[in-house]
Structure 1
Amino acid sequence: MHYLKILILLCFISLLIACDKSPELELPLADDYQRIDGALLTADEATLRKSTVSNIQYFLQIDLTKSERYSGIMEIRFDYKPTTFPLTIDFIDGEAERILVNSNAIAIDYVGNFINIPSANLDAGPNSIKIQFSHAYAKGESGLIRYVDPVDEHVYIFSQSSQFNGNKLFPSFDQPNLHGTYEVRVVTLKDWTVISSIKESEAIVDGPFKRWKFPESSSFSNHLFSLYAGPWQIWESMADNKELRLITRQSIANRVAVREWFRITQQGIKFFNDYFSRPYPYQKYDQILVPELAIDGIENFTTATFSEQFITDGLITASDIRASSVAILKQLSRTWFSNEVSMKWWDSSWLKEGFSSYMAPIALSKISDKNNEQLSFYSNIKLASHKADYLDTTGPINVPIYEISSSTVAIDSSRKNKAAVVFQQLAHFMGEKSFQQGIRSYLAKFRNQSTDVSDFIETMDAATSRNLNQWISTWFNLPGVNTLSADYQCDEGKISTFTVKQSAPEQSPFYRNHNLQIGLYNTDKQQVVSATSIIPVQISAQINEMDELVGLPCPLMVHLNHGDWGYVKVHLDVKTQLMLSKNISQVDNKLSRAMFWQSLWDMVLDQEFSLNDYLKLLNKSIAAESDLQLLSQILSTIEQANGWIRASHLVNDEAKNHLEELELLMLNQSLLVEDGSPLQLAWFDAFTGLAETKQGLNHLSNWLQGFAAPLKLANNQKMRWQALLKLQAS
């Protein structure tokens, strides 16, 4: 069976190595080929269009003064290489009212997703296409959105154009490897401000209107275009002699942490200037917070759009500040690793998603006094990736995309998290200095160009003496999580043998190369548990003899992924399990403590550790945990265990007794910690979710009526709804 798995692995790798490059046209399309009416762009069609169109200039005139629809004229100038295929211009769900090709009117051939321009109407060399168009304002998550503020009835208009959504704004060649410059004219109401990809050169009041003029921009991908209009509240600052602006609706302006937002942005620019060895490349950077954005943020050319979820109604917690800081730094990093170097096709989008998610916590740890970023990355990103990778529906991060309709596959949340983890792995495999040099070389080599995954791999491979080919194939192109377990013996207080076994799930039977640190833990005179020996190792086979550990002092506990270098599950040996049952709270390092807790929970899920023993250990130890991030991680496992036990038809009275003890423990902890603090909210939220006893339910009822603590949480509407639902269900 072992050899069969290896054979399957080798075959699978050989098949997927071909996927490292974005799809290319190997054979010409049929001479009479045309895009299918109503269909979105395919990779082959994009490759064809790239071969025929170059030197693109967009000249946009747009009128935003009407309430239901906006209208405009888009002129596209470009060089054309003749072909028999019609040239298509992407434009979803709008109206094309008049089309001029080289000043000659042509019949409108528009099918709802794209406009056909017959090749016979085009000249070899320079061409001009003018399209008079109109479009309804978007009501979903993409396009040009018109929002009426329910507080003061001010109107705000903003674009969301990522991932083949740019053509929902206006007609364009909407593929990431066709760059163009933009010269823009906008008509708005006279008290509005307009923000776009370059600073305006002119804004003239014309009666009740204002006419805005934006000079020609640098060349960039269509999906990076942005446009915002309305009576915005704007704050200004500077960073590295570049203009910064923070922009929000007027009605929420008093709730924006402006100084903190600018501080993170300014220090982030300084960090990335140094890390990439290249200054921020543009003259301005605008950050706009908008309503009803379904994701944290979107990068655009010289601008970034953020969700208003980062503006809180009440107390701003450390967790809130961290979330907004990470979002700011993620979008900022994409100025270099997405805007300056963009992708050839949408199947490479996971690169910028993964890189920014990996780099943002690193940047935050360098520019702030936070020392929890490694734990936050582990708890928020790595464990989420593990959870998705355990499922039968998991897939690799490097997925070929042949049609736009499948493009979201490349950037769903599970692949974003896995991509970030793979970047972390790559940095450890190459070494931090080689990794940084590879990134610098990649950005310098492909500045103002479009790349695919193979370009990235080739550049990174040149920056290290290690062979990346097999590593890349198994980590980019294969799904799943490997599990490691240790078997060791000691003789006269020294390790005599140490073996690490690597296993793989049946649906993904692949053994990977893992660069790890094995931590050997012991106690000091005060019974504090810490790693007394940390040994870097490489695991690649199913059975791995660790000769480098032989002769070291025999440990009380072992963790095979000390410091979270690897992307693995770790099953703990029996001796370590026994020691943790006595002193897990004495593990001094928070990340190590979190990883020991997670290993125990993973073993519960894999039926290698008793659920009752896990709950018993929680009752004994969890009250000592004061780190909010770590506590939240542990509490989530209790919530999951509670759901199983309550839903199971099997009787487990011991487990139910443990849960009742935990319920009262959580209530007591919520009353002992600082009133109104994030820690209190975490404890009381967990108590509410677990409450089943008469005592617990009575306390919830009294709390809702204002007769019981914690009183400072009484106005938390989310908590009140949760308590009401719990009481109703009971």
Structure 2
Amino acid sequence: MNNLTIFSRVLLKYKLAISILCSVLLASCGRPSETQEQTTPAQTDTPIVRVDGPGLSEAYARLRHQQIAQVDYQLSVNLDNEGNNFSGTVHSDIRFNHPLKQPLTIDFSNGAVNSIQVDGKSIPFGYNGYFITIDHKYLAEKTHRITVNYQHPYSNNGSGLHRFKDPIDGKVYMYTDFEPYDANRLFPHFDQPNLKARYTLDVTAPDHWLVVSARREQRIEKKGQKNHWFFPQTKKFSSYIFSLHAGPYHTWEDEANGIPLRLLARQSLSKYVKTEDWFTFTKQSFEFFQPYFEIDYPFEKYDQILVPDFNAGAMENVGAVTFNDSYVSRGGKTQAQRMHLANVIAHELAHQWFGNLVTMNWWDDLWLNESFATYMANLALAENSEFDNAWENYYLGAKQWAYHSDQRPTTHAIQLPVSNTDEAFSNFDGITYGKGGSVLKQLPYYLGKEEFRQGVSNYLKALSYDNSTLSDFIKHLGKAAGKDLHSWQQQWLYQAGLNTIEASFQCDNNQISHLVIQQTAPEEYPILREQRTQLGFYQMVAGTMKRVATLPVLYSGARTEVQEAEGLPCPQGLYPNEEDWAYVKVNLDKVTIKNMVQHLNDIEEPFARLMFWQSLFDSTYDAKLPLDEYISFIVNSGADEQDINVIRLNARYIGFTYDFLTQIPLNTQRRNELTQAVERFSWDQLLRAAEGSDQQKIWFDVFTHIAHSTPALSSARELLMGEFAIEGLELDPDMRWKLIKLQNRYLFSDYEQAITRELAKDNSDRSKLNALSAEVIRPLEENKSKWVDNLISNRDKFKLSEIRRISESLFTAEQVELFNIHSQPIFDSLDQINEDNSQELLSAYAYALPLMCSRENIDKITKSLQEKQQLKPILVKALKNHRYSGERCINIGKRLL
């Protein structure tokens, strides 16, 4: 799955005492979960009573893995384009390891069970809305066929089997999304990754629909106004990557060296799909991965389906990957947007080997899936695509997500115990994706590139169609490199926290005479790590700050003497993580800070400028550099920057600084000076950008986020109405909605009529969601009361995609006083929201909390955490992260004052 956004929509429980102890003191705790995973199938199952509620525990999944030696499914599903439910029958052919000594449970959430048969005979059963229970006396033999006839509602929250009706043409589309524990919302089965199965599927659907799953159909039979689709048995894989998609999709076809490719999108969106990009990026990924892994693509075909209301970026279903159809732009894409699309395509294709062919045993090894796909996607782009700045893009995106997440109180070890599927859901975050990918990125520097590649290949070959644990992966890497990775594994995978390095040097006769790297660790996670980094040495040469030397260094412990640096030219700037080899935070020495700030625009290497600009923001976010000084740097030095990634970075942080400025306690005059300075700068950059350039689109987005003065709002409305034009800037429908939302955010001019006019032109689902955002964002007390009430009491009237828009738009940073009026009902409703079984809904609800830069609001969060001990992990994580952001904002404000 690709979930990456910046600082982000982290989908963001353990038994806290045990899990924190074992992640911090793992050397003495050991790895109990790994020894449990290796339990032999012959072991007698110890009675475990399954909790009567949603989700699946690791303990019960482990028991069931001991009970069941093999299972295959034969699934029949009946779909209709009307109605609220679908029906199905599943035959589960099971071979047990030994006679059962307790009931067997079958996962099936929120459906209806009509009948159950064992070997053709009807039996009594229990069903609590979460799982089916069959008494073990009906399962006395070693092999049985269990048949379940059932019904289930279509989903409207993007999980399970989701049904979507396109408002433009009324056509109905369906797709599935299961990770980590929603496959049981399609059919009753054993929904855990280490019970891999083969699937034989047949589907009855309207005759004008296409039906897609892991394999291409074997045949189609006509049945009145319906068609009956028959699919051959699949290879063996986990149920969370099984899929079923259906509807009147528009289809394009191609092939990648003999592998059949299809791209599917709903009819109303098909005219916007740039198929050349999709197929080109897909073929380039195939060209890279197959020789790299030394394994041909393991499945028979490869479909990519663009779907609406999707909760993530994409999902790696075997042979039928789903993508959020927001990747289809109704206007031109920037190069960064094209690169992001290429990255997501490569990420999901990498999963076909790492995740689908070889699958983690349980969700504690989720990082093996997601970290690897994150790293491999970027490697594929760097090695075999048109994007020659792929690693800069990685640094700007996934790496910053990781750094940001690793400094929060909710950080965690990359590898950690996961006691249930709720905890698994909360771990789709910047640590699992960004930090895990970054740790893998530094391994080739540590082991050697070819040694790393060979270890990965050997791992995939040895465990094809099987499940694996971390020890399997580390064993193959270490063997290929001839290194004992035990210490590395303990440092990097079982310990949380972000280290910091700083290089200091002395010079004689304009040459380095002494250089040392000092490493520190946060007090909460006092581990010092070993890794290879690269030092970059800079000097002014003919008016340009040039990199005059680089030096690879392996550092460890608190202090590393770098004798190899002696005799190198004395630098005017030294960057201790040149080209982003290492996963580490950087403190710059005083000489470097002084010279690099003075010569920021003279630095020749764009990647180096990018990293120095990031260091400036880090200093501000850490409350070391005053916010007004940072703004001054951007306004005075950022205007001349031409590198697109540096522009993207500065544009992003201008949005951050504006949000801080709206809440930091300042006198009105000073606040206006600073907010209008960033507003003017963004508008000037928009006007100055080359016609039709990516810079125009970037600064347009920034401007529509921070515009607030009457002149700026007037300019925005004139753009919308066509009364003013910026050469080369073509407003697509989504850009127009940004201008309309801005009007409503400040109740400017004819803001209500702007929504009505735009909906008359464009009645698509995207427009309806944008119109909803524009209404919710209005800063009127009665309006906020209405939408807070809808969010708390009437959320069953809205789809999840609508709830997410309501939450995101409810309180912007400058509307914190309106939030204060309504904060108590929101905090009080946490217990009620917590009862919902949808993890996606819980994460969406958390967006209703804005930036809260006051001690009063931070105390409200603390009180909720103290009083509401039963909150689910995703809500606990969201509250702690909001509190952390608020405390950071307070510290930034103190530094400014």
Q: Name the TM-score class by shorter chain.
A: over 0.9
CA contact (8 A) 1:673 1:679 kept: yes
CA contact (8 A) 1:23 1:43 kept: no
> Which among 331, 351, 355 is matched to residue 314 of structure 1?
331
Residue 197 of structure 1 is matched in structure 2 by: 214
> Which among 78, 87, 90 is matched to residue 63 of structure 1?
78
Which string of whole-angstrom CA distances, capped at 9 and with x for unpartnered residues, describes residues 120-157 of structure 1?
Answer: 11143221111111111112221111211111111112
Judge which range, 441-450 or 688-697, deviates more: 688-697
CA contact (8 A) 1:59 1:183 kept: yes
**Residue identity in the other structure for 1:128:** R
**Residue identity in the other structure for 1:68:** N
| Separation of aligned partners in 1, 2:30 and 2:398 | 27
> Which among 404, 409, 416 is matched to residue 421 of structure 2?
404
1:283 and 2:300 matched? yes
User: SS state of the match for residue 481, structure 2?
Assistant: coil
1:382 deviates by: 0.6
CA contact (8 A) 2:24 2:525 kept: no
Q: 1:467–1:10: structure 2 CA closer, same or farther, 3 Å change rule?
A: farther
Does 1 or 2 have the higher relative contact order (CA < 8 Å, sep 6+)?
Answer: 2
**Residue identity in the other structure for 1:721:** I
> Which among 69, 89, 99 is matched to residue 54 of structure 1?
69
User: SS state of the match for residue 312, structure 1?
Assistant: coil
1:14 and 2:33 matched? no
| Separation of aligned partners in 2, 1:30 and 1:61 | 32
| Separation of aligned partners in 2, 1:311 and 1:496 | 56
Which string of whole-angstrom CA distances, capped at 9 and with x for unpartnered residues, describes residues 442-489 of structure 1?
Answer: 101111110112221222121223332122112112222112122211
Residue 3 of structure 1 is matched in structure 2 by: none
| Separation of aligned partners in 2, 1:25 and 1:347 | 14
Aligned pairs for 1:633-648 (under 5 A) are: 633-648=649-664
1:234 deviates by: 1.3
User: SS state of the match for residue 143, structure 2?
Assistant: strand
| Separation of aligned partners in 2, 1:662 and 1:197 | 50
Which string of whole-angstrom CA distances, capped at 9 and with x for unpartnered residues, describes residues 156-183 of structure 1?
Answer: 1211122121111001111111111111
> Which among 536, 539, 548 is matched to residue 552 of structure 2?
536
Aligned pairs for 1:622-637 (under 5 A) are: 622-637=638-653
Q: 1:646–1:69: structure 2 CA closer, same or farther, 3 Å change rule?
A: closer
1:34 and 2:53 matched? no
| Separation of aligned partners in 2, 1:10 and 1:138 | 37
1:233 and 2:250 matched? yes
**Residue identity in the other structure for 1:18:** R
| Separation of aligned partners in 2, 1:567 and 1:673 | 34
Residue 145 of structure 2 is matched in structure 1 by: 128
Q: TM-score, normalised by structure 1?
A: 0.93
| Separation of aligned partners in 2, 1:11 and 1:142 | 35
1:480 and 2:493 matched? no
> Which among 537, 548, 553 is matched to residue 564 of structure 2?
548
> Which among 327, 331, 343 is matched to residue 360 of structure 2?
343
CA contact (8 A) 2:536 2:575 kept: yes
Residue 192 of structure 2 is matched in structure 1 by: 175
Judge which range, 251-260 or 687-696, deviates more: 687-696
Aligned residue pair count: 722
> Which among 216, 222, 230 is matched to residue 239 of structure 2?
222
| Separation of aligned partners in 2, 1:538 and 1:10 | 25
**Residue identity in the other structure for 1:599:** S
| Separation of aligned partners in 1, 2:476 and 2:313 | 30
Gaps (5+ residues) in structure 1? 1-7
Residue 796 of structure 2 is matched in structure 1 by: none
Judge which range, 442-451 or 602-611, deviates more: 602-611
1:227 deviates by: 0.8
Q: 1:695–1:289: structure 2 CA closer, same or farther, 3 Å change rule?
A: closer
| Separation of aligned partners in 2, 1:654 and 1:518 | 41
CA contact (8 A) 2:355 2:369 kept: yes
1:354 and 2:367 matched? no
Residue 719 of structure 1 is matched in structure 2 by: 738
1:647 deviates by: 2.3
Q: 1:107–1:517: structure 2 CA closer, same or farther, 3 Å change rule?
A: same
User: SS state of the match for residue 339, structure 2?
Assistant: helix
Judge which range, 437-446 or 311-320, deviates more: 311-320
1:316 deviates by: 2.6
Aligned pairs for 1:172-571 (under 5 A) are: 172-525=189-542, 527-571=543-587
Which string of whole-angstrom CA distances, capped at 9 and with x for unpartnered residues, describes residues 643-662 of structure 1?
Answer: 33442225698897566444
Residue 622 of structure 2 is matched in structure 1 by: 606
CA contact (8 A) 2:54 2:109 kept: no
| Separation of aligned partners in 1, 2:130 and 2:208 | 34
**Residue identity in the other structure for 2:243:** S
| Separation of aligned partners in 2, 1:112 and 1:455 | 37
Q: 1:29–1:710: structure 2 CA closer, same or farther, 3 Å change rule?
A: farther
1:369 deviates by: 2.0
| Separation of aligned partners in 2, 1:343 and 1:22 | 15
1:696 deviates by: 4.6
| Separation of aligned partners in 2, 1:535 and 1:227 | 52
**Residue identity in the other structure for 2:739:** R
CA contact (8 A) 1:489 1:497 kept: yes
**Residue identity in the other structure for 2:600:** I
| Separation of aligned partners in 1, 2:688 and 2:341 | 29
Residue 612 of structure 2 is matched in structure 1 by: 596
Q: 1:553–1:77: structure 2 CA closer, same or farther, 3 Å change rule?
A: same
| Separation of aligned partners in 2, 1:87 and 1:693 | 65
Residue 116 of structure 2 is matched in structure 1 by: 99
Report the RMSD for the aligned CA atoms in angstroms. Answer: 2.5
User: SS state of the match for residue 599, structure 2?
Assistant: helix
1:515 deviates by: 1.2
| Separation of aligned partners in 1, 2:233 and 2:704 | 57
Gaps (5+ residues) in structure 2? 1-20, 749-778, 780-813, 815-897
Judge which range, 553-562 or 211-220, deviates more: 211-220
CA contact (8 A) 2:24 2:494 kept: no
1:30 deviates by: 8.4
Q: 1:229–1:615: structure 2 CA closer, same or farther, 3 Å change rule?
A: closer
Judge which range, 600-609 or 516-525, deviates more: 600-609
| Separation of aligned partners in 2, 1:272 and 1:510 | 35
Q: 1:693–1:74: structure 2 CA closer, same or farther, 3 Å change rule?
A: closer
Q: 1:435–1:36: structure 2 CA closer, same or farther, 3 Å change rule?
A: same
Q: 1:56–1:717: structure 2 CA closer, same or farther, 3 Å change rule?
A: same
| Separation of aligned partners in 2, 1:105 and 1:280 | 42
Q: 1:13–1:50: structure 2 CA closer, same or farther, 3 Å change rule?
A: closer
CA contact (8 A) 1:22 1:347 kept: no
User: SS state of the match for residue 513, structure 2?
Assistant: strand
Which string of whole-angstrom CA distances, capped at 9 and with x for unpartnered residues, describes residues 24-45 of structure 1?
Answer: 4879898654323234322222
**Residue identity in the other structure for 2:493:** F
1:309 deviates by: 0.7
Judge which range, 59-68 or 256-265, deviates more: 59-68
CA contact (8 A) 2:515 2:561 kept: yes
1:601 deviates by: 2.1
User: SS state of the match for residue 95, structure 2?
Assistant: strand
Residue 699 of structure 2 is matched in structure 1 by: 683
CA contact (8 A) 1:569 1:602 kept: no
User: SS state of the match for residue 274, structure 1?
Assistant: helix
User: SS state of the match for residue 339, structure 1?
Assistant: coil
**Residue identity in the other structure for 2:75:** L
Which string of whole-angstrom CA distances, capped at 9 and with x for unpartnered residues, describes residues 319-342 of structure 1?
Answer: 222222111111101111011101
**Residue identity in the other structure for 1:249:** R
Q: 1:223–1:322: structure 2 CA closer, same or farther, 3 Å change rule?
A: same
1:427 deviates by: 2.5
Q: What is the aligned-residue identity percentage?
A: 31
**Residue identity in the other structure for 1:43:** E
CA contact (8 A) 1:83 1:119 kept: yes
Q: 1:538–1:608: structure 2 CA closer, same or farther, 3 Å change rule?
A: farther
User: SS state of the match for residue 139, structure 1?
Assistant: coil
> Which among 673, 690, 706 is matched to residue 674 of structure 1?
690
Looking at secondary structure, tell me which structure has more strand per residue.
1
Q: 1:100–1:20: structure 2 CA closer, same or farther, 3 Å change rule?
A: closer
Residue 5 of structure 1 is matched in structure 2 by: none
